[in-house]
């Protein structure tokens, strides 16, 4: 990691299948902390070379930190997963970038020598805990006009982004959304997404047990005609729809971060090598532009340019937000380097969990494309922020990064 004495690597990342939120969603009868536990246990099972007692920290993110997502979930989930009681843990909240921040937090600790090995993750059960549950915004936000009222409703911030950049039309957003669905379907057909998943035993409303082993949200075969018929819930005659946005979802993610020398000594294979990261603030009412300054900042820290990046994993909270990023950096809407396995519009966006989902997709791309040297994971964040992490491919063979 640039500026630090130790190289930090991600050696594994996986997630539960994502579900649709609500009373009919597959995780309606499943606790949020049990989703995290399933991920932590699977990380340990898949990496038997890693002694659990050698884990120095567990950082788990959740946007709504109450109920079964509360109780310092990094610590409580670690205990529930069977980690030694000597392994500490804590919770993280940076809204959509929770898991991303959990990763950068523990990676920074590894970089300065505070840790050797750490687990990071994120969870969101939006069916049990809708966005904003229990929140009491300070009245000064509106009374003193510190933020526009739209800043507190993510869908309205996406409509504002369409206003700011009129050339980012609904037609472009719908076309991007249809492509995300198609790429996700293709990735499933190739078996590339399934290998990143941990199956979860779940109960239905009648108490019967079944297995969650694929994502629930994708809609294969989505057409532009069907997307064009959808209503615009955030504004009459608007441009943001349920079809060109990520849905409300439930799910959990997790990753193992290790100092590279320690990983090699334990026989763990690096899948991503951390180069730099950055977070940036923007106007809250157009939070979707956040990935742009965050990426510019991370590139400066790494001494790289956008032309050095061979793969982009951009969280698709809204299609317009991705399009704004692509336009800013001169990338085509259908650039093959961008979200080649599809993204959140198809597979879902359980808020604080999504950052590591991006990393698992990038790691899979790095494994099958050794000619690619650098990639990035980036996302917009509620209340006007963006986050970007730049990674190097440990499998890089010296070929072109394009």
User: Domain extents for the chain?
Assistant: 8-126+247-392
Q: What is the pLDDT of residues 272-293, one digit of tens each?
A: 999 999 999 999 999 999 999 9
pLDDT band at 149 (very low <50, low <70, confident <90, very high): confident
Q: Alpha helix locations (H) across 213-353?
A: 224-228, 260-266, 291-302, 319-328, 344-347
| Placement of tokens 């966006």 in the chain | 349
pLDDT for res 45: 98
Residues 345 and 181: beta-carbon distance below 8 Å: yes
Enumerate residues 6+ apart whose C-beta is below 8 A from 179: 333, 334
pLDDT for res 4: 55
Enumerate residues 6+ apart whose C-beta is below 8 A from 26: 19, 20, 202, 212, 216, 250
The gap from C-alpha 256 to its chain's centroid, in whole angstroms, comes to 15
**Can 96 be counted among the known catalytic residues?**
yes
pLDDT for res 153: 86
Q: What is the pLDDT of residues 113-138, one digit of tens each?
A: 999 999 999 999 999 998 888 889 89
Residue 143 has pLDDT above 80, yes or no: yes
**Can 129 be counted among the known catalytic residues?**
no
Architecture of domain 8-126+247-392: 3-Layer(aba) Sandwich (3.40)
Q: Rounded CA gap, 33 and 38, in Å?
A: 9
Residues 340 and 368: beta-carbon distance below 8 Å: no
pLDDT for res 1: 46
> 147-156, 222-231, 306-315, 376-385: which has the minimum mean pLDDT?
147-156
Q: Rounded CA gap, 317 and 129, in Å?
A: 18
Give the number of C-alpha atoms closer than 13 A to the C-alpha of residue 112, restricted to the C-beta side.
6
**Can 380 be counted among the known catalytic residues?**
yes
Q: Rounded CA gap, 141 and 183, in Å?
A: 40
Instruction: Give the β-pairing of 209-212 and 309-314.
Output: unpaired
pLDDT band at 400 (very low <50, low <70, confident <90, very high): low
pLDDT band at 397 (very low <50, low <70, confident <90, very high): confident
Burial of 256 (0-12, 13-18, 19+ CB in 10 A): buried
Which residue in 96, 125, 129, 369 is the catalytic one?
Answer: 96
Q: What is the pLDDT of residues 212-250, one digit of tens each?
A: 999 999 999 999 999 999 999 999 999 999 999 999 999
Which residue in 129, 349, 369, 396 is the catalytic one?
Answer: 349
Q: Which of 362, 321, 286, 323 is nearest to 100 (CA)?
A: 362
Q: Rounded CA gap, 121 and 254, in Å?
A: 4
Residue 401 has pLDDT above 80, yes or no: no
């Amino acid at each position: 990691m640039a500026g630090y004495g130790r190289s930090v690597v991600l050696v594994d990342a996986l997630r539960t299948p994502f579900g649709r939120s609500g009373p009919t969603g597959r995780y309606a009868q499943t606790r949020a902390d049990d989703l995290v536990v399933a991920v932590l246990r699977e990380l340990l099972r898949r990496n038997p070379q890693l002694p659990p007692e050698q884990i120095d920290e567990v950082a788990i993110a959740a946007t709504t930190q109450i109920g079964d997502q509360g109780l310092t979930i990094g610590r409580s989930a670690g205990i529930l997963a069977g980690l030694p009681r000597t392994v500490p843990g804590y919770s993280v909240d940076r809204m959509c970038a929770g898991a991303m921040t959990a990763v950068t937090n523990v990676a920074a600790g590894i970089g300065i020598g505070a840790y050797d090995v750490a687990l990071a993750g994120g969870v969101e059960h939006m069916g049990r805990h809708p966005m904003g549950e229990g929140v009491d915004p300070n009245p000064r936000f509106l009374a003193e006009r510190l933020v526009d009222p739209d800043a507190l409703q993510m869908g309205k911030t996406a409509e504002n982004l369409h206003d700011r950049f009129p050339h980012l039309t609904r037609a472009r957003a719908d076309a991007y959304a249809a492509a995300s669905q198609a790429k996700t379907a293709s990735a499933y057909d190739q078996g590339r997404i399934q290998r990143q998943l941990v199956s979860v035993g779940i109960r239905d409303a009648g108490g019967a047990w079944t297995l969650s082993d694929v994502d629930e949200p994708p809609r294969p075969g989505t057409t532009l005609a069907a997307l064009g018929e959808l209503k615009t819930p955030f504004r009459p005659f608007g441009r943001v729809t349920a079809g060109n946005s990520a849905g409300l979802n439930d799910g959990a993610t997790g990753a193992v971060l290790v100092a590279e020398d320690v990983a090699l000594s334990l026989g763990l294979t690096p899948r991503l090598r951390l180069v730099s990261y950055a977070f940036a603030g923007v106007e809250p009412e157009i939070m979707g532009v956040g990935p742009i300054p965050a990426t510019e900042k991370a590139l400066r820290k790494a001494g790289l340019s956008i032309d050095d990046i061979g793969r982009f994993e951009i969280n698709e909270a809204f299609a317009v937000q991705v399009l704004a990023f692509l336009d800013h950096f001169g990338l085509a809407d259908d650039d093959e380097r961008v979200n080649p396995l599809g993204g959140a519009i198809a597979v879902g966006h359980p808020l604080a969990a999504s950052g590591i989902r991006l990393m698992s997709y990038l790691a899979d791309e790095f494994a099958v494309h050794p000619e690619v040297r650098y990639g990035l994971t980036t996302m917009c964040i509620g209340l006007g922020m963006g986050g970007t992490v730049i990674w190097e491919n440990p499998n890089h063979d010296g070929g072109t990064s394009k």
